[in-house]
């Protein structure tokens, strides 16, 4: 059975690149009825923290990416924290020595640094010179007897390492350029290469889908699989994500933590749709997908070999499209925390005033790109006092020709039956014509009187939703801004 894993290092929150990698793995597993494993690679104890693990888990859950095996759900290959699996890696490291595929290295960090600096000063490059590989059995025994600290290095064979990448095709590395790399440090901590291979073997991972920046790591890992007599998983290296300036995505491009996008008002459905199309295409021109549609369409063949560009404007477009398509009841439910933070929420909005609130959500949602924008757009409807924009007042209420007309309109509003946008439209235009003023002038003045702003949804829809009593009161209150 197909088994994939997402194995983040908890040294930072879930960023956009990691989220896209997790999504590709999740889609591939769900597409083929496989298993998606979450494994925390927390061997960097100085930089890892539980807060970071919690942040990664929170980000994945917000995106709706569930895992079949992992830290909090368990599974047949627990534990799922790499720091709890170091004993297994140590056994494998010693196994390499016993089989002649590895050897003890007693070189100190200072010695290695001196050799590297000397080589770079003359030749420009250096790889480990196998000093300790040439030690005799007696020399090794002497060092062991003295308890000399030592690492374990993998002995890279001659020749080339070849693997077929499911995105890039066949890839060949000349082993002459791969030094005998450390698999177990002198402090008995396994390195990344040994840990990841040990865990992937034990967890029967069949496919490794990860970023292009890991391609250079792959030959070392393939060599380890071969040394342990195991078949390596299929590798698929996906393109990196670049910022609009075509440089690798980083904090300088804005928010990169997934949860920051939640706070900015993005829907997880929109983020998933957007991330899926960063470096992958289902073919054709279609861009909008539900989660289930992405699962049905996803293939590794659709992953591009070129880097993807993170376009914030495109993300905004996706978000707006998903806001429009979200079921009205669900959208209203998700607005509760947004409106609560803005001090605009009352329990009756999903209670006794639910039908009215849903009409308000429907009126507003075509005008916004992010959830947090709903609060400002809804403020004139949900707040009793009108907050007048001074420039709007100066432009549209400081006009003698609309003074009497606006006062008359307040009286007309009381007699409009039925109180609908169509009837209100007809009443205003009829009044404007009878007074010999432009309907647009009275419309703008009415909008400022009702909302305090120069811009709003269609004014007659606003009037209908506000209701006759509230609208009449606001128009009368606004007349005080008119010139005497």
Give the catalytic positions in this structure.
251
If you write DSSP's letter for every residue of 162-210 in order, what string do you get?
EEEETTTEEEEEEGGGS---EEE-TTSPBPHHHHHHHHHHHTT--EEEE
Which of 378, 268, 362 has the alpha carbon at shortest distance from 315? 268
- Residue 75, SS3 per DSSP: coil
Cα separations in angstroms, 8 against 60, 79, 93, 221: 11, 15, 23, 17
H or E segment to which residue 321 belongs:
helix 312-325
- Residue 303, SS3 per DSSP: strand
Is 256 buried (19+), middle (13-18) or exposed (0-12) by CB count in 10 A?
Answer: buried
- Residue 307, SS3 per DSSP: coil
- Residue 116 and residue 110: Cα distance in Å, rounded? 10
Which of 208, 294, 301 has the alpha carbon at shortest distance from 31? 294
- Residue 200 and residue 215: Cα distance in Å, rounded? 17
């Amino acid at each position: 059975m197909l088994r994939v894993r997402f194995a983040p290092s908890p040294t930072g929150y879930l960023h956009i690149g990691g989220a896209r990698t997790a999504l590709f793995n999740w889609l591939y597993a769900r597409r083929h009825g496989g298993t998606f494993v979450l494994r925390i690679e927390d061997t960097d104890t100085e930089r890892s923290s539980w807060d970071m693990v919690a942040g990664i888990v929170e980000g994945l859950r917000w995106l709706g990416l569930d895992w079949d095996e992992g830290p909090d759900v368990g599974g047949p290959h627990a534990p799922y924290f790499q720091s709890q699996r170091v004993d297994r890696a140590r056994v494998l490291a010693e196994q390499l020595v016993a089989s002649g595929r590895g050897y003890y290295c007693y070189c100190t960090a200072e010695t290695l640094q001196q050799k590297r600096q000397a080589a770079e000063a003359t030749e420009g490059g250096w790889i480990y010179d196998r000093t300790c590989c040439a030690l005799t059995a007696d020399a090794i025994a002497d060092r062991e007897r003295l308890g000399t600290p030592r690492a374990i290095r993998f002995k890279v064979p001659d020749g080339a390492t070849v693997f077929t990448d499911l995105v890039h095709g066949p890839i060949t590395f000349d082993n002459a350029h791969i030094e005998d790399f450390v698999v177990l440090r002198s402090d008995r901590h396994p390195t990344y290469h040994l840990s990841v291979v040990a865990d992937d073997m034990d967890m029967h991972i069949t496919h490794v889908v990860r970023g292009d920046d890991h391609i250079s790591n792959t030959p070392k890992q393939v060599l380890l699989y071969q040394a342990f007599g195991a078949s390596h998983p299929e590798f698929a290296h996906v393109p990196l994500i670049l910022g609009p300036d075509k440089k690798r995505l980083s904090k300088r491009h804005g928010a990169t933590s997934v949860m920051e996008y939640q706070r900015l008002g993005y829907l997880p459905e929109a983020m998933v749709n957007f991330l899926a199309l960063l470096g992958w295409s289902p073919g054709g021109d279609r861009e909008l997908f539900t989660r289930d549609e992405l699962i049905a369409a996803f293939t590794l063949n659709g992953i591009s070999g070129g880097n993807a560009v993170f376009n914030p404007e495109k993300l905004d477009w996706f978000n707006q499209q998903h806001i429009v398509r979200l079921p009205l009841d669900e959208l209203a439910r998700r607005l509760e925390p947004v409106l609560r933070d803005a001090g605009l929420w009352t329990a009756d909005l999903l209670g006794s005033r639910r039908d009215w609130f849903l009409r308000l959500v429907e009126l507003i949602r075509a005008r916004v790109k992010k959830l947090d924008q709903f609060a400002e757009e809804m403020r004139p409807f949900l707040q009793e006092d009108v907050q007048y924009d001074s420039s709007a007042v100066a432009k549209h209420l400081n006009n003698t020709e609309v003074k009497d007309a606006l006062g008359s309109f307040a009286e007309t509003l009381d007699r409009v039956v039925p109180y609908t946008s169509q009837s209100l439209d007809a009443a205003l235009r009829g009044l404007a014509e009878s007074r010999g003023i432009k309907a647009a002038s009275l419309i703008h003045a009415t909008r400022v009187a009702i909302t305090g702003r120069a811009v709003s949804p269609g004014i007659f829809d606003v009037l209908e939703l506000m209701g006759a009593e509230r609208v009449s009161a606001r128009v009368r209150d606004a007349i005080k801004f008119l010139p005497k």
